[in-house]
Structure 1
Amino acid sequence: MLGFIGGSGIYDALPLQNVREETVETPYGSPSAPVTIGEFEDTGTDVAFIPRHGKDHQYSPTDVPYRANIYALKHLGVERVLASNAVGSLREDLPPRSLVVPDQTFDRTRHREQTFFGDGIVVHQSQPDPFCPHLSGILADAAREATDAHVEEGGTYVCIEGPHFSTRAESEFYRDQGWDVIGMTAVPEAKLAREAELCYATVTGITDYDVWNEDSEVTLEEVLENAAHNEDLIKRTVEAAIRSMPEGRECGCETALEGSINTPKAAVPEETLDRVSLFVDDYL
């Protein structure tokens, strides 16, 4: 089973059969919505979909239940997660309606739960490359194959808290760092997926030039118009990625927790063990 986290407009257009909903309660609360599961065409591949912001876009970037979403997918047996994000461009040569598959993040969020752990269990996990390189390569190849959009493979996604767009000074600062796109949702989603030992990669659709470009001030109208155009590009990319997905994983994501748990089992409170058992039972 593959997971997909993104906008409901993209999911609605995917060719899924025998669709059903699964209500999953997690130790971290309820996911953004019941998980919709369907068979992709006649491939035998099930896709489990969660609309990140809820069915009616009722969760702001800060309030998205990221931990519950990732936990629910892991609980259902998902091993690989495809995602999509709307982003702003920090580069002149990355215009709106381009697709970027980033390989790095820079975290500028302040009010989000970043980990499944704590409360008596300490985990220091290495995450130098926050996206699964193998899955990212599949997404980038799929985007080039299935669309006529400009596709950029690699780049840094700076994640801001939101829900406000940047000030001009902030936008210029991010450009000075050499970062590529700016959004509000890749963090902590990518970090949590790695803690859960899931492969995770995202294809981002550029909706605007952020506010550094004085000739292109960001408005919600512009963002929504370009996001609607990008939905079709992302849908085609995701479909092509699913069709080309190899049967097995070809990366180290499935053992990402190995050697990172500092606390011996005997010292972890029973309540905490119960909460994180889905992740740590193979190691403790």
Structure 2
Amino acid sequence: MIWKLGIIGGSGLYDLPGLENIRKQAVETPWGAPSGELTLGTLAGTELVFLPRHGPGHRLPPNHINFRANIAALKMAGCTDIVSISACGSLKEELHPGRFVAVDQYIDRTTSRVNSFFEAGCAAHVSVAEPVCSRLAGLAADAAEAAGAPVTRGGTYLAMEGPQFSSRAESALYRSWGCDVIGMTNMPEARLAREAELPYASIAMVTDYDSWNEKEAAVDVPAVLAVMAQNSRIARTSIARLAEMVSDMDRTPSPQGIETALDTAIITAPHARDPVLVEKLRAIAGRVL
């Protein structure tokens, strides 16, 4: 089996230079339109599908992103795996701006987002005990190091609602929980990827110290943008290195069996399932429906 990487570009990563055989594809999913057109192409012989999470020109704030449509669009495009690139704040002194973190855990503090494809009429409960694919996260970290980034392997990402940044009290609370970085976009993205049986990994690029570090100015947009420019250049190179790594690597099932996550997750009896919802769900769960 070959790799087809879905790349979700976050703040500062709105395109992917170097792609060959480029074609644009507007997609409509059963959950509406994604953040923007998909850009399909090849890089180092690997098929890639790029989606800017915030849309062209960063028009979408985190709480207005159609996460279900984004994940469904990548699934419908035939992606085998998803790599998320996103800016984040640091909750630890040693995770300085410019450092990359290969996230492996999440605490979800979002409040207003639809976090599942499944609804009344077809209920399902997938496990997100291990919310990222260990193999994909390791490869993404290797690629970032090959691109010259300082990388921390493993870390807990606190997903906040936003769009405002944290108060100092909130930032201190998240530090007391042992969180490593904070951002606004990896949830419910990671949950939805698991429901769609897509291995997911996140590389979080540190831009600031959030609001806890009183020796530093509280985070603001200009400070984020200044670091983001350098981070984004490295992120693009990282994606190119990742494409090279997997180009001659046979893609076997993920170590955690993510491609079959729905085998034991759907709890609604077949006779009780809403046929309209089931038809809608075929876009992401057709294998089991």
Q: Partners of 1:12 and 1:120 in 2: how far apart?
A: 38
Residue pair 2:15, 2:52 contacting (<8 A) in 1 also: no
How far apart are 1:280 and its partner, in Å?
3.2
Look up the equivalent residue of 1:86 and give its one-letter code: A
Q: Partners of 2:96 and 2:139 in 1: how far apart?
A: 23
Residue 269, structure 1, aligned to residue 274, structure 2: yes
Q: 1:61 to 1:10 in 2, by over 3 A?
A: closer
For structure 2, the residue ranges without an aligned partner over 5 or more in a row are none
Q: Partners of 1:20 and 1:14 in 2: how far apart?
A: 13
Q: Partners of 1:177 and 1:13 in 2: how far apart?
A: 36
Q: Partners of 2:78 and 2:92 in 1: how far apart?
A: 38
Q: Partners of 2:15 and 2:279 in 1: how far apart?
A: 35
Pick from 28, 32, 39 the counterpart of residue 29 of structure 1. 32
Equivalent in the alignment of 1:253: 258
Residue pair 2:21, 2:41 contacting (<8 A) in 1 also: yes
Q: Partners of 2:123 and 2:135 in 1: how far apart?
A: 28
How far apart are 1:264 and its partner, in Å?
1.9
Q: Partners of 2:271 and 2:263 in 1: how far apart?
A: 18
Q: Partners of 2:129 and 2:144 in 1: how far apart?
A: 25
Equivalent in the alignment of 1:83: 84
Equivalent in the alignment of 2:100: 99
Residue pair 1:8, 1:55 contacting (<8 A) in 2 also: no
Equivalent in the alignment of 2:15: 12
Residue 197, structure 1, aligned to residue 197, structure 2: yes
Give deviations 1:118-152, integer Å, cap 9, x for gaps: 130110111101111110010111112221x3210
Q: Partners of 2:30 and 2:234 in 1: how far apart?
A: 35
Equivalent in the alignment of 2:230: 229
Give deviations 1:213-237, integer Å, cap 9, x for gaps: 0122212100011111100121121
Equivalent in the alignment of 2:184: 184
Residue pair 2:82, 2:200 contacting (<8 A) in 1 also: yes
TM norm structure 1: 0.95
For structure 1, the residue ranges without an aligned partner over 5 or more in a row are none
Give deviations 1:51-70, integer Å, cap 9, x for gaps: 00001211110110110011
Equivalent in the alignment of 1:206: 206
Look up the equivalent residue of 2:37 and give its one-letter code: P
Residue pair 2:211, 2:219 contacting (<8 A) in 1 also: yes
Residue 169, structure 1, aligned to residue 201, structure 2: no
Residue pair 1:14, 1:239 contacting (<8 A) in 2 also: no
Report sequence identity in percent.
43
Q: Partners of 2:269 and 2:38 in 1: how far apart?
A: 34
